[in-house]
Structure 1
Amino acid sequence: MDFFNIYAVLASAVSALLVGFIWYHPKVFGNAWMQAADMTEKKMKGANMAKIFGLAFLFAFILATALPGIVIHQMGAFSLIGGDPANALPSYEAFMVDYSESFRTFKHGVFHGVLTGIFIALPILGTNALFERKSAKYIFINAGYWIVTLGIMGGIICAWK
């Protein structure tokens, strides 16, 4: 069984941008984020948006390549055999016959993606924001984006076989 699906990784990377377009829209959290980030329209107009979105997609892609190990349980068994089923003991094949499709749903991927957002993204963003002297509003707007985004990314990666 192949656990790395390039189409799922690409789709989940695109989903990060789509969620961002909605999340940071002025009618959702955009205005509140601008205020909390001390961002102005003038600062935004001077930006190279192609570079920003290109790098944002690259970073989302890198993140998406790490998510299979978090949201797909079978990756644990795969890693135990060194990534080569040809060298595995017969018990590996028996395990995969019994469990290869277990917990491979969108819902389960969302669950692990959200946990990743809460237990990895939130502490990282929160720590940076504290030292940058940003507000709790800033932390929760940005961490909320990543919690939702990682949930969607995890769902896509876990369910797309």
Structure 2
Amino acid sequence: MEMNYLALLVAAMSTLVVGFVWYHPKVFGTMWMKESGMTEEKIKGGNMLIIFGVSLLYAFLISLLLQTIVIHQMGAYSAANNIPNIDPSILQNYMNAYGKTYRTFKHGALHGFLAGLFIILPVIGTNALYERRSFKYTIITGGFWIVCFMIMGGIICGWV
């Protein structure tokens, strides 16, 4: 099973697009700034090229792992590939029969949603507790990542 790096890159880039919308002042930006303690001065003080570049790198790393969650065949492929004394045609026959099963945007978005809800939201929520951030902050930031995981999962799984 080959990795589609273009799909992973597009999925990673989608987080920047979602972020531009999600954190716009007319959406959740103003509320997020208040809840996170962010100020206009802090925003203007950062190197946006580095921030966006590293954000894209992190999102690409997320997409590498997310594909194993949203594409079921990756587990079967990695479990059976290159096992000594196993006929490789068994794996090939399996991939020929089921390699494209459940490979839709909708299916990937569902698994992205589940990963965001049950992995990312608890991580952000735990950090928010120790950082003494509000529940609003947790919902805004967690919600952003849930939406990103849905879109990323959809792109990765649906890109056939």
Q: Percent identity?
A: 53
Q: Partner of 2:143 in structure 1?
A: 144
Q: Partner of 2:133 in structure 1?
A: 134
Q: Partner of 2:158 in structure 1?
A: 159
How far, CA to CA, are the matches of 1:83 and 1:61 in structure 2? 27
Residues 60/83 of structure 1: CA separation in 2 closer, same or farther (3 Å cut):
farther
Runs (5+) with no aligned partner, structure 1: none
Q: Partner of 1:78 in structure 2?
A: 77
Aligned residues of 1:81 and 1:88 also touching (Cα < 8 A): no
Partner letter of residue 106 of structure 1?
F
Q: Partner of 1:122 in structure 2?
A: 121
TM-score when scaled to structure 1? 0.93
How far, CA to CA, are the matches of 1:159 and 1:108 in structure 2? 8
4+ residue runs of structure 1 moved beyond 3 angstroms? none
CA RMSD of aligned residues (A): 1.4
Partner letter of residue 43 of structure 1?
K
How far, CA to CA, are the matches of 1:82 and 1:115 in structure 2? 27
1:42 Cα shift? 1.4
Runs (5+) with no aligned partner, structure 2: none
Please tell me whether residue 28 in structure 1 is matched to residue 27 in structure 2: yes
How far, CA to CA, are the matches of 2:23 and 2:74 in structure 1? 34
TM-score when scaled to structure 2? 0.94
SS state at 2:38 partner: coil
Please tell me whether residue 101 in structure 1 is matched to residue 113 in structure 2: no
Please tell me whether residue 43 in structure 1 is matched to residue 42 in structure 2: yes
Matched ranges for 1:64-75 at <5 A: 64-75=63-74
